[in-house]
């Protein structure tokens, strides 16, 4: 798996340069059920994840992972995640977000959001206060000034898109 992880970090075929970082965030977690260190676990579960991006050939990356695991005699239960979340910078909602924030160019984020659950039903954009470096950590927080500013941005977007 280490060789695959390195390949995913270095092979342009598995990257999408529109994202930062452009790699799929291949991640592996091994869980032996909190078995004591001096005991052989009856069962160990290894969970692997990839961040799907439109141009990163994620299905092929997942197939490679499954093939390598099976070659080593591991039982594999593969489940597909979600289609990658991507919105064209020219989309109406992105343009409204740019106008509401005063920014001139849209960007991409290197983390997953619930936006993937909504994208088939409603125009979606990832926009809000906070910093991913502060998110999902002990003591997670958002600066109150960022919250206040976001209220103004959301108000401008509602006016632009709904009024």
What is the average pLDDT across 132-138? 83
Whether 157 and 126 map to the same domain: the answer is yes
Domain count, the chain: 2
How many CB atoms lie under 10 A from the CB of residue 153? Answer: 17
87 belongs to a structural domain: no
Average pLDDT of the chain is 90
Pick from 76, 72, 73: nearest CA to 3: 72
Q: How far apart are CA 122 and CA 139, in angstroms?
A: 32
101 belongs to a structural domain: yes
The domain of 42 spans: 2-71
What is the average pLDDT across 148-159? 96
Whether 67 and 101 map to the same domain: the answer is no
Q: What are phi and psi of 31, to 5 degrees?
A: -130, 115
Rounded to the nearest angstrom, the gap between the alpha carbon of residue 111 and the centroid of all alpha carbons in its chain is 3
Rounded to the nearest angstrom, the gap between the alpha carbon of residue 127 and the centroid of all alpha carbons in its chain is 14
19 belongs to a structural domain: yes
The model's pLDDT over 2-35, given as tens digits with 9 standing for 90+, comes to: 999 999 999 999 999 988 889 988 888 999 999 9
The model's pLDDT over 113-123, given as tens digits with 9 standing for 90+, comes to: 888 888 889 99
Whether 58 and 14 map to the same domain: the answer is yes
Q: Is residue 156 within 8 Å of residue 100, measured between CB atoms?
A: yes
Q: What's the pLDDT at 116?
A: 84
Whether 96 and 56 map to the same domain: the answer is no
Instruction: Please tell me which residue, 100 or 111, carries the higher pLDDT value.
Output: 100
Whether 54 and 103 map to the same domain: the answer is no
105 belongs to a structural domain: yes
Pick from 97, 152, 100: nearest CA to 123: 97
pLDDT of 51 above 90: no
pLDDT of 81 above 80: no
What pTM was estimated for this model as a whole? 0.69
Whether 98 and 137 map to the same domain: the answer is yes
How many CB atoms lie under 10 A from the CB of residue 95? Answer: 15
125 belongs to a structural domain: yes
Locus of tokens 């992880």: 5
Q: What's the pLDDT at 161?
A: 93
Of the candidate ranges 77-81, 104-108, 150-154, the one whose mean pLDDT is the lowest: 77-81
């Amino acid at each position: 798996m280490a060789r695959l992880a390195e390949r995913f970090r270095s092979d342009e075929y598995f990257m999408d340069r529109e994202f930062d970082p452009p790699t799929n965030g291949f991640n592996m977690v091994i869980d032996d059920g909190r078995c004591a260190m001096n005991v052989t676990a009856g069962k160990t579960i290894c969970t692997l994840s990839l961040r799907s991006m439109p141009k990163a050939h994620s299905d092929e990356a997942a197939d490679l992972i499954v093939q390598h695991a099976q070659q080593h005699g591991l039982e594999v239960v593969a489940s597909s995640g979600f289609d990658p979340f991507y919105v064209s910078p020219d989309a109406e909602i992105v343009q409204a977000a740019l106008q509401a924030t005063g920014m001139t160019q849209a960007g991409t984020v290197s983390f997953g959001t619930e936006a993937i659950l909504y994208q088939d039903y409603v125009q979606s954009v990832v926009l809000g206060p906070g910093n991913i470096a502060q998110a999902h950590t002990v003591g997670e927080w958002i600066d109150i000034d960022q919250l206040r500013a976001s209220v103004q941005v959301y108000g401008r977007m509602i006016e632009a898109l709904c009024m």
